[in-house]
Structure 1
């Protein structure tokens, strides 16, 4: 853990699991929420955890632990470990949230809340009428992005990725009836971007290096938040498009976790202020 408990009256705990974990900002978000609500008997920490470690760490957690946030590489292990799974976590195929229940541990995926919240801040009322999207990347973060876009009513999604992972991702979109296609980086990226009403980049900045100018032709949600702004969002802003970063997604995915762990409404403004102060 990143720090010892500092108060003798801690009754409830939560933690973020992952590897590497020392730079996670989840403790900033959750502890700010506890402080704002006067929840002095709650504490949130970091725990280094690989996929192989997760069953032992969660299985041995005492009753004070009410929930775990889960980052890579343990999101798939969290889904497999859980006693019950929400529909959206099952559809997405991974879990970033484990909540203690009377039946054991429930797995959920609030990453899609993070994507949805960030898209809402990016597009506002236009999100309800957005029908065409471009997603960059086909890995773990692409899955909640695809789910969130389809759930918002997007009907046509192009995925740009170095390898074709349509066989893995198509089942996620089938229930929504989305028209879905894969393209490589050798496609006409400018045409694909210009045809989209929104772009979600789920990859490190290095993965699109050299392609920023071709891709920067629609509003962009880039899941990266350090360093910010990214070259892709700088190029989009120069072309007159709005952009949002991964810190917006991080905040929105944390709100739902906070509420599931504590049973109390998340103090969103206080949590957001603390996160933004840490990034500055």
Structure 2
């Protein structure tokens, strides 16, 4: 029976099984199964290397994304460029590593902006998600990115920005956040909602992609909506990165509508359970 799984720690609440198993059912792949395994960065090589032949691939969440790239026999250009992998695919020549977080951000930006032109982005946060976000922004046609972060991490991101031909600048939270956000065509937030709770009224002056989806809506997206701007949540990014993984694992086109519907239903169920 062909199988796939998501690896990470903690992994109990991962929504990847919901997405992939819904996709298998909708695509008529009755023999496929997708599960989850608690795996650390240290244990990932052993777990993947010893996996049974029926495992076609693995989705990888933190803290294993850097280990996944190091473990792989072959890597995609974008995974190598970004420096991490969230996808491992079994191939005849060995394990192939890719980073479909890039497609997750790109798909979410497409949902958010449609055909609207955008050249200047405000990127909030400079952690792991910032790197695929920069890739997707460059793919979208963005030429200038202002990174809002508590510390200047330009030394880490500038090499990637240069390869993507992005003009990158850094600013802290003591700057004129209203002016900075109004100058942007789009805002991408990669930080927890609590990190912005004192600043949302100053920042929410452009369309927002917030990678947070639980709880939803976030204060930033609520404030942006009050200002007349559209927002898209991290569940859309999660779905789009899974579509590509599904297709790489199975060789079958992802049934996107059914996968996204299953995800939204599960998020609604969880929100009701919390209440």
Whether TM-score is above 0.5 comes out as yes
Asked if residue 21 in structure 1 is aligned to residue 14 in structure 2, the reply is no
| Counterpart residue number, 1:78 | 68
Q: Counterparts of 1:37 and 1:217 in 2: how far apart (Å)?
A: 41
Aligned residues: 268
| TM-score, with length taken from structure 2 | 0.96
| Counterpart residue number, 1:113 | 103
| Counterpart residue number, 1:233 | 221
Superposed, 1:23-172 pairs within 5 Å as 23-126=13-116, 129-172=117-160
| Counterpart residue number, 1:265 | 253
- Where in structure 2 are there 5+ consecutive unaligned residues? 269-275
| Counterpart residue number, 2:271 | none
SS in 2 for 1:125: coil
| TM-score, with length taken from structure 1 | 0.95
Match among 176, 192, 197 for residue 188 of structure 1: 176
| Counterpart residue number, 1:6 | none
Q: Counterparts of 1:270 and 1:225 in 2: how far apart (Å)?
A: 19
Task: For residue 175 of structure 1, report the CA deviation from its aligned partner.
Answer: 2.1
Q: Counterparts of 1:169 and 1:77 in 2: how far apart (Å)?
A: 20
Q: Counterparts of 2:66 and 2:173 in 1: how far apart (Å)?
A: 27
CA RMSD of aligned residues (A): 0.7
Segments ≥4 residues shifted beyond 2 Å? none
Task: For residue 176 of structure 1, report the CA deviation from its aligned partner.
Answer: 2.6
SS in 1 for 2:42: coil
| Counterpart residue number, 1:255 | 243
Match among 194, 197, 201 for residue 206 of structure 1: 194
- Where in structure 1 are there 5+ consecutive unaligned residues? 1-10
Q: Counterparts of 1:175 and 1:25 in 2: how far apart (Å)?
A: 33
Deviations 1:193-227 (A, max 9, x none): 01000000001111112000011000000000000
| Counterpart residue number, 1:5 | none
Q: Counterparts of 1:124 and 1:247 in 2: how far apart (Å)?
A: 17
| Counterpart residue number, 1:278 | 266
